[in-house]
């Protein structure tokens, strides 16, 4: 291969001034390399990218007059009397390129404001997050990002800022990562050390959010270690010993800092001992005898009491709580105008979906002054159940859900972060804060009706969460969404993508899946619901 065409032969593109085309060629070839096994090829590719971006190799030397290339890149014969390079005195080292980007007073103010927003105390407010996004948009759209030195300085600066007070700026990590293509470069030699750390920290934050969500398999164990009582008998806690052992071992292996940040050391030590079959035991024989004597004495007091009030009658208390829960559940169902016409009521819910009814009873047993909160809690429970079963339901139900999700994504499009969060995990999104209030009443009724009609005590099989999408479907998706092909493929494959791209691509994809033939869509929909 002739060196007269380096670095373009390495990048496999024609000489160009288009910096975006150079970076895309580099990214495409980088994905095909094994960084550990092909270290030399990786370094050659990186040097070729840097050389191409410098602009010094835009016009390669002309070929020989006869049109033939030089002898395998060895160049012309030395002129008579010239000294061979290996015998010549060492040349002065080539000076590193000097970058001459100038910054104005407005730039300095913006940089300082970005620093202040990233490193302040507490979590980012919605207003602060929007302001930071605006500053980042201006920063990334600046023509000076074409300067390698400026680009590298901004990249390292933002990585350090994100890590400085993480997770304060966690919601902005996907946006910044997508711009600098960190997901493909995270294992590069010489990359800023904060970047690999940020990927691990971001994954850990996702794990914490999921574990804090009621319904997660390890939710009870996580809450016990994070908020449980340090003292007291462990055998009285409703916690699975084997799951507790798995949780402790997994967190220590993959996310060790979460133990220091969230768990109580004393409780961890006690549960670790119990999970390993140590000396943390339940009550002995004499303890049981003492408890029995205490129970008998209390029973005699209850029987001998001449004032049979509700406070002394557990059965009456249970009946009162059940009646109170029924009232709130009936009010919750009545909040859907279509429920009565469709024949859905407290009685039909109790009969057709007893498991859901039992779940709503727990949410409904709240103080009378918090009736509104009880209704919101019941709706979150309905949504939680709905998203657990929708991918197992008949195709027609899945198509209807795809239509509703597409409409919701359209409503959330002005809030890219919220839109992307809803797409990534609607269960978690709707359990956080008051997000359930932002979902349309029609979609909320859709969730309730599916849970009312379909959810029972059957064992739901797991659904394979991968699907092959035909090329013609991707072509239609690119046309409908208006998102470039590579960015569409990044979204569908789960690689880093901007919130706006995720919102536009998946929203259009749900619309498209309701239009293509059922035989084709039925193989894709369950993986995306």
Question: Does residue 30 register a pLDDT over 80?
Answer: no
pTM over cut 0.75: no
**DSSP letters spanning 101-149:** ----HHHHHHHHHHHHHHHSSSPPPHHHHHHHHHHHHHHHH-GGGGSHH
Closest CA to 249 of 216, 272, 217: 272
Shared domain for 203 and 229, answered yes or no, is no
Shared domain for 121 and 197, answered yes or no, is yes
Shared domain for 180 and 145, answered yes or no, is yes
Shared domain for 192 and 251, answered yes or no, is no
pLDDT at 217: 76
Shared domain for 218 and 161, answered yes or no, is no
Shared domain for 222 and 202, answered yes or no, is no
CA 519 remoteness from chain centre: 30
Judged on CB neighbours under 10 Å (0-12, 13-18, 19+), 523 is middle
Number of structural domains in the chain: 2
pLDDT at 120: 82
82 found inside a domain: no
pLDDT at 368: 44
The answer to whether the beta carbons of residues 213 and 431 sit under 8 Å apart is: yes
18 found inside a domain: no
The answer to whether the beta carbons of residues 361 and 355 sit under 8 Å apart is: no
pLDDT at 369: 40
Q: Among 45-49, 297-301, 353-357, 386-390, which is the least confidently predicted range?
A: 297-301
Domain boundary among 158, 191, 207: 207
Count each helix (H run) and each strand (E run) in the chain, helices first: 28, 0
360 found inside a domain: no
Shared domain for 259 and 241, answered yes or no, is yes
11 found inside a domain: no
pLDDT tens readout for residues 213-264: 877 778 888 888 888 877 777 766 767 778 888 888 888 777 777 877 788 8
Domain boundary among 186, 207, 228: 207
Shared domain for 134 and 198, answered yes or no, is yes
Shared domain for 117 and 192, answered yes or no, is yes
Region 131-145 average pLDDT: 87
Q: Compute CA distances 20 → 27, 145, 146, 175, 354, whole Å.
A: 10, 11, 9, 18, 58
DSSP 172: G
238 found inside a domain: yes
41 found inside a domain: no
Shared domain for 182 and 236, answered yes or no, is no
480 found inside a domain: no
Give residue 147's domain range.
Answer: 105-207
Shared domain for 162 and 202, answered yes or no, is yes
pLDDT at 74: 36
Non-local (6+) Cβ contacts of 509 within 8 A are: 477, 481, 492, 528
Q: Among 108-112, 172-176, 290-294, 403-407, which is the least confidently predicted range?
A: 290-294
**Per-state percent for the chain, helix, strand, coil, to nearest 5:** 65, 0, 35
Question: Does residue 512 register a pLDDT over 80?
Answer: yes
Region 26-37 average pLDDT: 71
pLDDT at 110: 87
pLDDT tier at 66 (50, 70, 90 boundaries)? very low
**DSSP letters spanning 425-475:** -HHHHHHSTTGGGGS-HHHHHHHHHHHHHH--SSPPPP-----PPPHHHHH
- Give the chain's mean pLDDT: 76
> What phi and psi values does residue 85 have, to the nearest 5 degrees?
-60, -35
pLDDT tens readout for residues 323-379: 778 888 888 888 888 888 888 888 888 888 888 888 788 777 654 445 557 788 888
Question: Which is more confident, 314 or 305?
Answer: 314
Domain boundary among 180, 207, 234: 207
Question: Does residue 72 register a pLDDT over 60?
Answer: no
Shared domain for 216 and 162, answered yes or no, is no
pLDDT at 59: 57
Extract long-range pairs of 206-210: CB within 8 Å, 24+ residues apart: 207/255, 207/258, 208/258, 208/262, 209/428, 209/432, 210/425, 210/428
23 found inside a domain: no
pLDDT at 5: 65
């Amino acid at each position: 291969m002739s060196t007269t065409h380096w670095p373009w032969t390495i990048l496999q593109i024609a000489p160009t001034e288009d910096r975006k085309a150079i970076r895309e060629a580099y990214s495409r070839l980088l994905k095909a390399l094994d960084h550990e096994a092909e270290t030399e090829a990786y370094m050659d590719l990186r040097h070729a990218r840097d050389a191409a971006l410098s602009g010094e190799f835009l016009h390669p030397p002309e070929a020989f007059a006869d049109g033939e290339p030089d002898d395998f890149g060895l160049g012309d014969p030395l002129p008579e009397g010239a000294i061979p390079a290996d015998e010549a005195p060492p040349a002065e080292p080539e000076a590193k390129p000097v970058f001459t980007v100038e910054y104005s007073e407005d730039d300095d103010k913006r940089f300082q404001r970005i620093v202040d927003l990233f490193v302040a105390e507490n979590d980012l407010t919605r207003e602060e997050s929007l302001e930071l996004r605006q500053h980042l948009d201006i920063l990334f759209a600046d023509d000076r990002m074409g300067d390698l030195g400026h680009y590298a300085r901004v990249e390292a600066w933002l990585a350090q800022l994100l890590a400085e007070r993480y997770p304060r700026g966690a919601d902005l990590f996907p946006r910044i990562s997508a711009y600098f293509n960190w997901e493909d470069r995270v294992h590069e030699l010489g990359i800023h050390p904060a970047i690999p750390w940020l990927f691990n920290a971001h994954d850990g934050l996702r794990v914490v959010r999921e574990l804090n969500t009621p319904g997660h398999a390890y939710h009870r164990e996580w809450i016990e270690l994070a908020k449980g009582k340090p003292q007291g008998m462990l055998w009285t806690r409703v916690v699975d010993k084997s799951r507790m052992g798995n949780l402790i071992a997994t967190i220590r292996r993959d996310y060790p800092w979460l133990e220091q940040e969230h768990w109580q050391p004393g409780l961890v030590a006690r549960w670790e001992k119990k999970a390993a079959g140590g000396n943390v035991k339940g009550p002995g024989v004499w303890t049981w005898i003492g408890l029995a004597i205490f129970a008998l004495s209390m029973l005699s007091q209850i029987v001998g009491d001449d004032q049979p009030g509700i406070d002394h009658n557990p059965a009456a208390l249970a009946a009162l709580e059940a009646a109170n829960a029924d009232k709130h559940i009936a009010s919750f169902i009545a909040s859907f105008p279509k429920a009565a016409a469709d024949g859905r009521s407290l009685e039909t819910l109790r009969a057709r979906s007893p498991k859901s009814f039992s779940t709503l009873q727990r949410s409904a047993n709240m103080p009378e002054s918090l009736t509104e909160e009880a209704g919101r809690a019941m709706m979150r429970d309905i949504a939680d159940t709905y998203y657990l079963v929708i991918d197992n339901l008949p195709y027609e139900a899945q198509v209807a859900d795809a239509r509703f999700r597409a409409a919701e994504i359209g409503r959330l499009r002005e809030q890219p972060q919220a839109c992307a969060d809803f797409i990534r995990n609607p269960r978690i999104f709707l359990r956080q804060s008051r997000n359930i209030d932002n979902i349309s009443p029609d979609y909320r009724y859709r969730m309730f009706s599916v849970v009312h009609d379909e959810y029972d005590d059957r064992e739901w099989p797991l659904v394979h969460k991968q699907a092959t999408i035909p090329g013609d479907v991707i072509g239609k998706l690119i046309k409908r969404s208006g998102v470039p092909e590579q960015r569409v493929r990044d979204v569908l494959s789960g690689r880093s993508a901007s919130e706006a791209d995720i919102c536009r691509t998946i929203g259009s994809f749900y619309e498209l899946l309701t239009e293509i033939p059922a035989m084709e869509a039925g193989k894709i929909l369950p993986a995306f619901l």
